[in-house]
Chains A and B, each alone.
Chain A
């Protein structure tokens, strides 16, 4: 039965590829939006969990920062209460680390003319309280300091966004899932409507409902699988592009290791969810039309 239904599905797709294709494109589009949202959401959770964001500071130096200036800044930092590890990252080190973070593209990147990265002094505080506004202001006032970025600020910003995302996220995810179900449902519904005469003939010939229904359910399954692969590829491309862009344009060279893609388990869960949704929506569409036919 399944083999015969699969053959029938292939025939249906061949005859009616434009409807199926538009279904795949629309489903993929919804999935890309959903996938990007979920990825951002997961990354927010990931980022807020990172320890360095708790009480981590990056002092960005400008071109005027001489060795003497850097020494003064380092001494000030060392004297801060509860200061932990202090690390200086030079422009050259930043560039090397960036190149090393790109596995296969290293040779190509070595030949590129990068914009100059600023030197950075990074340090952490071994306490829960952050630097006071006064301490930060004094740090910023040093000659040669371009900016001071605090992990806590970043974390707080992320948390604010995270709270909004939590609120909007559920609504958006439900909305996009409903959209996806409706797209697959409508694609299958149109496909069945276009073959309504054929279905009537099959019913007159004594075909059971499952014989008629299965090819369409499999079509919904195929739409789900192809859309999943397509949208995952698009999301991965966008992810690589954005991460590379961020890394090239700012000094946050380690972002590639911070921002992550879906894990295999998450991809598996998404795949299973999508397959179930595909089967569910095509089953609904097929059932509606077949039951409507009073033959």
Chain B
């Protein structure tokens, strides 16, 4: 039985005004349940690839499919629904700093309009899994960078999305915390979520034998 492709990029072109084309002809297929590293130098377009997938940017040309739907033609509620099916982890965490860790984790569930009891159970479950129950009531700004990233992971995964996109999740962290973050992402992948991690951390790539996609000179190259 063949594995269903979750993400498909076909002949995707993207350029920004007054600059060289970022992508000239990107083709990509990611299957459900995969764990993928997306690498390349700074400015190679890793974040843009994620933004294209989230529908935050439009390609100049080409097709981007997610779960069978053409992302470039999604609008309004369909686009929001699409974004809700993806858990996003950012390099700078993008948490609501004045809120507690619990408030932040709860956001995707609130957006989905999930009841209070289910919400509590889901938050309890994910925080237990990521071993962050003890910091749940703390204000985000009082937490360390590593802890904040763990909260961001919990927020991305609490509503069990199909896909998790992590944009340089370990960039600002020490090696020990980076390993912990990676372990957590692996755990989520083992539970069935497809995980794509954008990183230029060579050590991380070497330490884990996963599929690697390299963005180089406007092209995407598969590295083995």
Q: Mark A residues whose CB is within 8 Å of B.
A: 1, 4, 11, 15, 197-198, 201-202, 204-208, 211, 295
**Interface membership of B69, Cβ < 8 A:** no
A295–B88 Cα distance when bound, in Å, is 15
Select B56's contact among A15, A202, A208, A295, beta carbons within 8 Å.
Answer: A295
- Partner-binding segment picked from B108-116, B168-176, B184-192, B211-219: B108-116
Nearest A residue to B99, CB-CB: A11
Nearest B residue to A8, CB-CB: B110
Residues from chain A with Cβ under 8 Å of B95 in the complex:
201
Q: Beyond the given A4-B110, A211-B110, please list 18 additional residue pairs across the A-B interface where CB-CB is below 8 A.
A: A1-B113, A201-B95, A202-B107, A202-B111, A204-B54, A204-B56, A204-B83, A204-B94, A205-B83, A205-B84, A205-B108, A205-B111, A206-B82, A206-B111, A207-B80, A207-B107, A208-B111, A295-B56
> Would you call A208 and B110 a contact (CB within 8 A)?
no
Residues from chain B with Cβ under 8 Å of A197 in the complex:
94
- Shortest Cβ distance from residue B54 to the other chain A in the assembled complex, whole angstroms: 7
> Would you call B96 and A201 a contact (CB within 8 A)?
yes
How many contacts between A and B, using CB within 8 angstroms?
Answer: 41
Mask of B81-122 contacts with A, CB within 8 angstroms, 1/0: 111100010000011101100010001101101000000000
Q: Which of B103-150 contact A (CB under 8 A)?
A: 103, 107-108, 110-111, 113
Q: List 20 A-B contacts (CB under 8 A).
A: A15-B98, A197-B94, A198-B96, A201-B95, A201-B96, A204-B56, A204-B94, A205-B83, A205-B84, A205-B107, A206-B80, A206-B84, A206-B111, A207-B80, A207-B107, A207-B111, A208-B77, A208-B80, A208-B111, A211-B111
Interface of B is mostly: helix
Residues from chain A with Cβ under 8 Å of B103 in the complex:
11
Tell whether A206 pairs with B113 under 8 Å between CB atoms, given A201-B94, A201-B96, A295-B56. no
Nearest A residue to B100, CB-CB: A11
Residues from chain A with Cβ under 8 Å of B77 in the complex:
208
Mask of B205-223 contacts with A, CB within 8 angstroms, 1/0: 0000000000000000000
Residues from chain A with Cβ under 8 Å of B99 in the complex:
11
Residues from chain A with Cβ under 8 Å of B84 in the complex:
205-206
Residues from chain B with Cβ under 8 Å of A202 in the complex:
107, 111
- Shortest Cβ distance from residue B50 to the other chain A in the assembled complex, whole angstroms: 10
- Shortest Cβ distance from residue A191 to the other chain B in the assembled complex, whole angstroms: 13
Which of A11, A202, A207 has the largest count of B CB atoms less than 10 A from its CB?
A207
> Would you call A205 and B88 a contact (CB within 8 A)?
yes
Query: Which 8 pairs across A and B sit closest by C-beta, in order of nearness?
Result: A206-B83, A206-B84, A206-B80, A207-B111, A201-B94, A15-B98, A198-B96, A4-B110
- Shortest Cβ distance from residue B223 to the other chain A in the assembled complex, whole angstroms: 29
Residues from chain B with Cβ under 8 Å of A204 in the complex:
54, 56, 83, 88, 94
Residues from chain B with Cβ under 8 Å of A295 in the complex:
56
Nearest A residue to B80, CB-CB: A206
Residues from chain A with Cβ under 8 Å of B88 in the complex:
204-205
- Shortest Cβ distance from residue A3 to the other chain B in the assembled complex, whole angstroms: 9
- Shortest Cβ distance from residue A227 to the other chain B in the assembled complex, whole angstroms: 25
Nearest A residue to B110, CB-CB: A4
Nearest A residue to B113, CB-CB: A1
Residues from chain A with Cβ under 8 Å of B94 in the complex:
197, 201, 204
- Shortest Cβ distance from residue A204 to the other chain B in the assembled complex, whole angstroms: 6
- Shortest Cβ distance from residue A280 to the other chain B in the assembled complex, whole angstroms: 24
Q: Which of B14-51 contact A (CB under 8 A)?
A: none
- Shortest Cβ distance from residue A249 to the other chain B in the assembled complex, whole angstroms: 54
Residues from chain B with Cβ under 8 Å of A198 in the complex:
96
- Shortest Cβ distance from residue B164 to the other chain A in the assembled complex, whole angstroms: 13
A277–B84 Cα distance when bound, in Å, is 34
A11–B96 Cα distance when bound, in Å, is 12
Nearest A residue to B87, CB-CB: A205
- Shortest Cβ distance from residue B49 to the other chain A in the assembled complex, whole angstroms: 15
A11–B99 Cα distance when bound, in Å, is 8
Nearest B residue to A16, CB-CB: B98
Tell whether A206 pairs with B56 under 8 Å between CB atoms, given A4-B110, A201-B94. no
Residues from chain B with Cβ under 8 Å of A4 in the complex:
110, 113
- Shortest Cβ distance from residue B78 to the other chain A in the assembled complex, whole angstroms: 11
- Shortest Cβ distance from residue B39 to the other chain A in the assembled complex, whole angstroms: 23
Residues from chain A with Cβ under 8 Å of B81 in the complex:
206
Residues from chain B with Cβ under 8 Å of A207 in the complex:
80, 107, 111
